[in-house]
């Protein structure tokens, strides 16, 4: 896997896992791949994967069970929050981009409305 964004790799891997959780590909209680396995799969330094897991744990999205591995949180609220946060990030960056192109909020609103009506 090639990482293209100019972001630290550990953040890109966190985003990858967050997307899988939001899409339901990873469900509450599911086990994440071992650090070693994901490291080989993505061809990334194991320390980097470890850091991604650690940061995800700090955000409460996963938990570690000693000797068992890392698991997705079973707390539905946290997952719902994550979904909201990701949506609002997308919308924010969309609005920023549109504003930088010179569109007002009303313009943006009517463009979206039109798009929705067109289906």
Partner 1 sequence: MANIIEIKGLTKTYHNKKALNNVTLTIEKGKVVGILGPNGSGKTTLIKILAGILRPTGGEVFIDGNRPGVTTKSIISYLPDRNFLYDWMNIQDAINFFKDFYADFDENRAYELLDFMKLDKNMKVDSLSKGMMEKLNLSLVLSRNAKVYILDEPIAGVDPVARDQILDAIINNYNEESTMIITTHLVRDMENIFDEVIFLKEGEVYLLGNAEALREERNMKIDDLYKEIFGA
78 contributes a contact to partner 1 by CB under 8 A: no
Site string for partner 1, 25-64 (x = CB under 8 A): -----------x--xx-xxxxxxx--x-------------
85 contributes a contact to partner 1 by CB under 8 A: no
CB of 101 to partner 1, least distance (A): 22
Rounded to whole angstroms, the maximal C-alpha distance in the chain is: 55
**Cα 104–Cα 106–Cα 111 angle in degrees, nearest 5:** 95
Element (H, E) at 69: strand 69-72
Applying CB under 8 A, what is the total number of residues that bind partner 1?
Answer: 18
CA dihedral 88, 85, 50, 11 (to 10 degrees): 10
List residues binding partner 1 (CB under 8 A). Answer: 3-4, 6-10, 36, 39-40, 42-48, 51
């Amino acid at each position: 896997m090639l990482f293209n964004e100019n972001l630290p790799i550990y953040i890109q891997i966190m985003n990858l896992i967050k997307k899988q959780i939001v899409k339901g590909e990873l469900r509450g209680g599911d086990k994440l791949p071992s650090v070693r396995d994901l490291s080989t799969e993505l061809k990334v330094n194991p320390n980097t994967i470890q850091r991604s897991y650690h940061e995800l744990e700090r955000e409460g999205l996963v938990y570690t069970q000693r000797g068992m591995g890392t698991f997705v949180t079973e707390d539905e609220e946290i997952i719902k929050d994550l979904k909201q946060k990701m949506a609002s990030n997308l919308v924010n960056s969309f609005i920023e981009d549109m504003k930088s192109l010179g569109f007002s909020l009303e313009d943006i609103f009517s463009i979206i409305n039109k798009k929705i009506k067109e289906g």
